[in-house]
Amino acid sequence: MKQRYSHIAISLHWIMAIVVLTTWTIAQIAGGMPVSPDRILAISWHKWLGLTVLWLVFVRLFWRATHPAPELAVRMPAWQERIMQLTHLAFYLLMIAIPILGWLMSSAKGYTVNYFGLFELPDLVLKDKATGSLLKQIHEILANILIGLVALHVLAALKHHFWDKDGLLKRMSFFK
């Protein structure tokens, strides 16, 4: 019985974790900066990394569809297992919705979205300041929910590792 994820699944998990946290952190820093070339660069990096998250989540979903998760060999109460499943579902939905909302927001605010300066993405909606403001609020709320779920996920993993000592964390670790 396979109890660990593949090295590719583990790599995608940790790369996405780093990119998601970095993207959110850049947004927090850029939000407090005065309008300047540095703020524009920070926002550009935020958008580039956000689009990278969107691309990676589809890569990860493809990998997951073609390489099923290992069996859960850990005994836990049914409610914990259900929360784990719902949290993972929420991660995927949010990692798709948040970048798309950011793209919609940029379009509505009249800002072109490009990917690392390599190519421009089409506007998804017409320019409309009110729509842009609403999309910004939704984008930020969902991003903060995502970070809250990440914190819950980390705490749960640490609980399983240090308190329950059930080896659950090893499933997503490069180390045996």
- Its pTM stands at 0.92
Transcribe 136-166 into DSSP letters.
HHHHHHHHHHHHHHHHHHHHHHHIIIIII--
Alpha-carbon span 80 to 65, nearest angstrom? 23
Are 54 and 96 within 8 A, CB to CB? Answer: yes
Alpha-carbon span 154 to 136, nearest angstrom? 27
pLDDT tens-digit readout, 31-72: 999 999 999 999 999 999 999 999 999 999 999 999 988 888
Compute CA distances 82 → 3, 15, 77, 120, 142, whole Å. 19, 25, 9, 40, 21
Torsion of CA 81, 84, 90, 93, to 10 degrees: -90
- Which tokens hold the place of 100? 């798309």
pLDDT tens-digit readout, 84-142: 999 999 999 999 999 999 999 999 999 999 999 999 999 999 999 999 999 999 999 99
If you ran DSSP here, which 8-state letter would residue 17 be given? H
Enumerate domains of the chain plus CATH numbers. Answer: 7-172 (1.20.950)
